[in-house]
Structure 1
Amino acid sequence: MVILTSSQPMLWLRQHLVLPFLLYTSLLGGAEQPKCRCLYGDPCWPTQNEFTNLANQLSQPLLRPVPPPSACYPTNMPSGNCSEVVAHYTDGNWRADQPGAMQNTNFESFVFLNGTIDACYLNVSLNIPCEQGNVPPVSVDVRSAEDVQAAVVFAKRHNLRLVVKNTGHDYLGRSAGRGAFMIWTHHLKNMSYDASFTPSGAPRRHSAVEVVTLGAGVQWHEAYTFVSQQNRTIVGGISQGGSVGAAGGWVMGAGHSAFSPTFGLGVDNVVQFTLVLADGTYVTANAFQNVDLFWALRGGGGGTYGVVISTTYRVHPAFSVGLAAISTNFPSYAAALAVVTEWTKLHPTISDAGWGGYTYINQVGQADFQMMFVSPNVSIEEATATFKPLFDIVGNATEGQAVAVVRSYPTFLDWYTAFFTLPGQSQVGGRVELASRLLPKAITMQDPEKVAKILLSLKAGVGINSVGGGAVSKVDPSSTGLNPSWRKALAEVYISETWEEGVSAATIAQARERLKQNTDVIDKLTTDSGSYLNEGSLYEKDFKKSYFGSHYVDLKGVKKKYDPTSLFVVASGVGSEYWDEELKCRL
């Protein structure tokens, strides 16, 4: 007999009696599944008593998320402080702390087929009522695997549309869902360092690995600080304020970094995941346990196979950072063509040498060219020699009007702090949709001028994330579930469209049509329409091909094995082709 003392009995009862009982009862009633999910407002929506029973199993009270601007509509939805909302509206870390906030506010809105828009706008002078929009009305603020298990079992039992959200960074809107039930992983903040980690299930003689394990709610600014305290560096996402989640959708979509040409993508640095499956089971996935699931989680898309609880990453020794940057305006199309052609020609060499970075090219007429590349442990002299051909071309083409910078930073964190923690800088809080293509190395080597002409022909600004080549290209494409196009790519080319708050559905449709047209332009850079899942479009002609490539069939097999009833369904995710546009009903 085991005698339990102090606070242990309640935890033991939850783990050994409550969750298994809920799981068992949720599976009663046969294998036939309802055609449509149950949404808020439907007769099948759980009763208050049923939500109370769920709340009794959780460590935190249930949340009722609302769009952040609701605080500015006191007669409609009195909630929060409007002044605080206005002051922090474009702060990514503030938005991440709000259960009802998405980083891009268009995903807080819902557009009906008849053109009606349900939303809550910050601009109260529009005189448009504040509505719930696309924000799930009920959420579980999970703090443990047990919380996640209870929430997953509840959603399955009641056939709810389930949404998993951490920070709300998602250009496909997968963090939101009208009338859905949300699992909010944002407070799974545990971090640990292990200088000698052995994956679960590994043979006794398996070599230990130096790692950090991050809870699903950890954000990159938190991870970078923690890893730096261990005198180590981790491959991670680069954004203003570091508000992107470090252990969830970022890595499951590929996870790129300016340092990927040296150390590989996020999927190449993962050692282990822990997660809760659709049946409520808590499992470990690595190279020795649930191997097929581990393969799929590395590139097969977030919100698709389960709810990740933690991710374990390999870490690297600390390093200094060499930087080369250019900022200029083009006086003519000929100057633009000369610069972008030379930039393209240089690209394969610098990527193979471990340089990665970010470039922005605007259409001729506005004529901007901004570039920043970085590489570990490179001196100022080495950086100058590498980029001298480009510096010379830019100087001649712009008659000396360009600004070129070469610098060195003692550590990764010094470089990151200098560029991505600047006050007043923001990438969020507006309305934006993206489309992207992976730029193959082959075309940059065979016809750099063609690449330059395509990029300059776009009727919008274009960003190029130079996050491929080098170490990324040396990984066996079959070793992860990631789209194999990544292994042949040097960079991700992306375009965007935005619109003003409160515009009509027709205006939004026009913006999306422009995005589609420009997607056709950048598609000329590829032979297979390969795209980055986490920075892609909802309007791909064939999302299976663009986001997953030849791995789609195998990913669908893993999906069917671990989530046979499709509890987890997300836009453009594996298996989503069997659901309607709102992801409510099976087709």
Structure 2
Amino acid sequence: MHGTISLWVKALVALVATITIAEAVPYNSTNSECRYLPGDAGWPSNHAWAQLNNTVGGRLIRGVPFGQPCYGTSADAPACAKAQDTWEDLSPFLEDPVNVISSFFENTTCSPFYGPLSTDAAKRNATCSLGSLASYAINVTDAAAAVAGVNFARDHNIRLVVKNTGHDFLGRSAGQGSLALWTHHLKSYTFFEYKSQNYTGPAARIGAGAQVQEMYEHANKQGLRITGGSCPTVGAAGGWVQSGGHGSLAAKYGLGADNTLEFEVVTTDGKHLTASPSKNADLFWAISGGGPSNYAVVLSVTMKAHEDGPVAGSAITFVEKDPEKYWAAVEAWEKHLLVLDTIPGFKTSVTLTAGIFSLDFATLPDGSKEEVTTALAPFHRDLEKLSINATTKLTVHDTFLEHYLDYEAGIVYSRNVTVGNRLIPPDLVRSDTRLPQLTKIYKEILATPNTAIFIIAQNVTQARTGHIDGDNAVIKAWRESLHDLNYALINDPLATFDDLSADLALVNKWQYDLRDITPGGGNNMNEATYDYKFWKEDYYGETYARLAGIKEKYDPDSVLWIQPGAGNDKYALRGDGHLCKT
């Protein structure tokens, strides 16, 4: 939006005229106890939005629902068909300022399969609205734009959210009637020697918009590795690192949060600050594992970088139609993880679907084929005893990037999924009486159509990572886990919101079942459900009280508010979309 102010005002007038009844909620419209929504008397005027657009250099963007081409008297059939064809793809949502990848939070308030062009007569009268998505976004390309957005949201009493890629299943980058700070284009990379009391060595300062594969590619050119995630399009400096952050190098160097050196942030009072162990140390502690988009707006992170070198890898795949043999093999793998857990740097990621076992990758930085072969040999012997024939791959690449591109970058990630999580402790697997309890839940999950289980193992104990207890906000359950357990239920692209809610309830049910057999444990919050009733205990654990205090210090008015977020009790989200004081 680079036109004159007068053109911008005309566009806003046109926008207001198109706001649907679902968005224009009159309830509590003048009550400042609630954040204002479009249609409320306190909602910012067209002139106020125009001024904000001018302040941020014309980078204010109106939120547009993904399915909008399928609605209205001027519905565009070719554009609608394209929206339908790409509804399950990640890319369009990653590059959009307000639309998010979560089917549940994208919701069906503007489904491309509904509306006047729908082939289903019952859906042709559907309407299109933004639903829970942001009304506007600022394309943040510098700190000044973030400061302007924070100040505008605070002064005009509207919701503020942060969206990078929208790679989030907890709705933290969405919010009805909100202003989104879209940090996706903050893609800077600076490599240098970092010196501090706590660390001296190679480091990388990474913009908030940097995505995992991009970061790996830039580091590779410097002869370095950086701890990042597996999915190539995840924002490395966004919710990934701020919630802990696991990836294929975690077993070697620790979680993402274990590698942070400092953050560049904008706080909700509009200040541009550095958070590090020596400056605003409490804020640095909170953002290093205590959750994203809650304490301040992150513009960049500085992380440890590590000298690159050879990386050994392996993959194992088999199909077994005999359920007894299949589940015996799965339990054999679970037990073998107790052995792999003792090998420094050894990381594995397994996918289970009905009758299929896939070790998608084993990663051993600075390792050899012989070391990987020796490490996996006992599991191969277990498969031989079960008369299971497996396909095996074994490699050594010269660099981490080559290993990553071979094993991980090509994995296809679906957008239309509901995910759940539990961190599995080793004692559960060691016990011959308790391991079958885990297998029973696995069986129930995979008996449900369109499901998958992911067993992601890395040793990130304090002893292995070199951290001391409590020096960042990563919960003890991570430190004490044998593996991270994720599971996914693929949603029907034509699902109604009731269908998506039912999927969420089922995924929550399994999350509660897993909690029952892992008392005192926890969850990786990035891959868990947003409405889980034990979120304070299991997502934040022993860190919750301290995090809530830091939230109160840096954001006493809850300008940033997420569910589930530490210290979010001052406000609650009502059924009509209003966020109101409790």
Normalised to the residue count of structure 1, the TM-score between the two structures is 0.85
* Bigger Cα displacement from structure 2, 71-80 vs 570-579: 71-80
CA change 1:118–1:76 in 2 (3 A) is farther
The runs of 5 or more residues in structure 1 that have no matched partner are 1-32, 110-116
CA change 1:102–1:524 in 2 (3 A) is same
Verify: 1:450 aligned to 2:447, yes or no: no
Deviation at 1:118, TM superposition (A): 2.1
Instruction: Choose which of 333, 339, 346 in structure 2 pairs with 1:349.
Output: 339
Verify: 1:396 aligned to 2:375, yes or no: no
Verify: 1:75 aligned to 2:73, yes or no: yes
Deviation at 1:82, TM superposition (A): 4.8
Give the Cα–Cα distance (whole angstroms) in 2 for the partners of residues 511 and 288 of structure 1. Answer: 45
Which residue does 1:198 correspond to in 2? 195
Which residue does 2:395 correspond to in 1? 407
Secondary structure of the residue aligned to 2:273 is: strand
Which residue does 2:11 correspond to in 1? none
Instruction: Choose which of 228, 249, 254 in structure 2 pairs with 1:264.
Output: 254
* Bigger Cα displacement from structure 2, 36-45 vs 334-343: 334-343
Which residue does 2:456 correspond to in 1? 465
Residue-by-residue CA offset, 1:496-541 (whole Å, 9 max, x unaligned): 2333234344433332232122223322442224001111112312
CA change 1:451–1:60 in 2 (3 A) is farther
Give the Cα–Cα distance (whole angstroms) in 1 for the partners of residues 142 and 275 of structure 2. Answer: 18
Give the Cα–Cα distance (whole angstroms) in 2 for the partners of residues 216 and 265 of structure 1. Answer: 18
* Bigger Cα displacement from structure 2, 447-456 vs 308-317: 447-456
Q: Is the 8 A contact 1:189 1:217 kept in 2?
A: yes
CA change 1:308–1:472 in 2 (3 A) is farther
Secondary structure of the residue aligned to 1:210 is: strand
Instruction: Choose which of 378, 397, 416 in structure 1 pairs with 2:367.
Output: 378
Matches within 5 A, 1:107-506: 107-109=105-107, 118-122=109-113, 124-125=117-118, 126=120, 127=124, 128-194=126-192, 196-198=193-195, 208-239=200-231, 242-353=232-343, 354-362=345-353, 366-371=354-359, 372-397=361-386, 399-422=387-410, 426-430=412-416, 432-447=417-432, 449-450=435-436, 453-460=439-446, 461-469=452-460, 475-506=467-498
Residue-by-residue CA offset, 1:243-268 (whole Å, 9 max, x unaligned): 11011111111011122111100000
Secondary structure of the residue aligned to 1:554 is: helix
Deviation at 1:329, TM superposition (A): 2.2
- Letter of the 1:408 partner, please give it: V
Instruction: Choose which of 479, 487, 503 in structure 2 pairs with 1:511.
Output: 503
Q: Is the 8 A contact 1:236 1:246 kept in 2?
A: yes
Secondary structure of the residue aligned to 1:373 is: strand
Q: Is the 8 A contact 1:464 1:491 kept in 2?
A: yes
CA change 1:247–1:526 in 2 (3 A) is same
Which residue does 1:16 correspond to in 2? none
The share of aligned pairs that are identical, in percent, is: 28
Deviation at 1:415, TM superposition (A): 1.8
Deviation at 1:179, TM superposition (A): 1.5
Give the Cα–Cα distance (whole angstroms) in 2 for the partners of residues 36 and 468 of structure 1. Answer: 44
Give the Cα–Cα distance (whole angstroms) in 1 for the partners of residues 89 and 406 of structure 2. Answer: 18
Matches within 5 A, 1:46-61: 46-61=44-59
Give the Cα–Cα distance (whole angstroms) in 1 for the partners of residues 86 and 216 of structure 2. Answer: 23
Residue-by-residue CA offset, 1:41-82 (whole Å, 9 max, x unaligned): 211111011112112211333101212232344636779955
* Bigger Cα displacement from structure 2, 229-238 vs 508-517: 508-517
Give the Cα–Cα distance (whole angstroms) in 1 for the partners of residues 129 and 314 of structure 2. Answer: 47
Verify: 1:575 aligned to 2:567, yes or no: yes
Q: Is the 8 A contact 1:70 1:79 kept in 2?
A: no
Q: Is the 8 A contact 1:475 1:487 kept in 2?
A: no
Deviation at 1:83, TM superposition (A): 6.2
- Letter of the 2:495 partner, please give it: V
CA change 1:439–1:155 in 2 (3 A) is same
Give the Cα–Cα distance (whole angstroms) in 1 for the partners of residues 85 and 398 of structure 2. Answer: 34
Q: Is the 8 A contact 1:59 1:143 kept in 2?
A: no
* Bigger Cα displacement from structure 2, 386-395 vs 514-523: 514-523
Deviation at 1:289, TM superposition (A): 0.5
- Letter of the 2:519 partner, please give it: T
Instruction: Choose which of 510, 534, 557 in structure 1 pairs with 2:526.
Output: 534
- Letter of the 2:194 partner, please give it: F
- Letter of the 2:390 partner, please give it: A
- Letter of the 2:382 partner, please give it: I
Secondary structure of the residue aligned to 2:581 is: coil
Residue-by-residue CA offset, 1:417-471 (whole Å, 9 max, x unaligned): 123443xx631332x2211110112333344743653454333332112134466
Secondary structure of the residue aligned to 1:63 is: strand
* Bigger Cα displacement from structure 2, 96-105 vs 367-376: 96-105
Q: Is the 8 A contact 2:89 2:414 kept in 1?
A: yes
Q: Is the 8 A contact 2:98 2:180 kept in 1?
A: no
Give the Cα–Cα distance (whole angstroms) in 2 for the partners of residues 485 and 421 of structure 1. Answer: 28
Secondary structure of the residue aligned to 2:395 is: strand
Matches within 5 A, 1:17-56: 34-56=32-54
Give the Cα–Cα distance (whole angstroms) in 1 for the partners of residues 68 and 384 of structure 2. Answer: 51
Deviation at 1:88, TM superposition (A): 4.8
Instruction: Count the aligned residue pairs.
Output: 533
Q: Is the 8 A contact 1:340 1:452 kept in 2?
A: no
- Letter of the 1:198 partner, please give it: K
The runs of 5 or more residues in structure 2 that have no matched partner are 1-30, 447-451
* Bigger Cα displacement from structure 2, 256-265 vs 400-409: 400-409
Q: Is the 8 A contact 2:315 2:394 kept in 1?
A: yes
Q: Is the 8 A contact 1:287 1:294 kept in 2?
A: yes
Which residue does 1:9 correspond to in 2? none
- Letter of the 1:435 partner, please give it: G
- Letter of the 1:265 partner, please give it: L
CA change 1:537–1:261 in 2 (3 A) is same
Secondary structure of the residue aligned to 1:153 is: helix
Deviation at 1:89, TM superposition (A): 4.4
Deviation at 1:129, TM superposition (A): 3.3
Deviation at 1:271, TM superposition (A): 0.5
- Letter of the 1:463 partner, please give it: F
Secondary structure of the residue aligned to 2:326 is: helix
CA change 1:221–1:403 in 2 (3 A) is same
CA change 1:579–1:529 in 2 (3 A) is farther
* Bigger Cα displacement from structure 2, 135-144 vs 279-288: 135-144
Give the Cα–Cα distance (whole angstroms) in 2 for the partners of residues 260 and 438 of structure 1. Answer: 15
Deviation at 1:404, TM superposition (A): 2.4
- The CA RMSD over aligned residues, in Å, is 2.4
Secondary structure of the residue aligned to 2:341 is: helix
- Letter of the 2:444 partner, please give it: L
CA change 1:557–1:502 in 2 (3 A) is same
- Letter of the 1:42 partner, please give it: D
CA change 1:497–1:407 in 2 (3 A) is same
Deviation at 1:550, TM superposition (A): 0.9
Give the Cα–Cα distance (whole angstroms) in 2 for the partners of residues 52 and 83 of structure 1. Answer: 33
Q: Is the 8 A contact 2:277 2:284 kept in 1?
A: yes
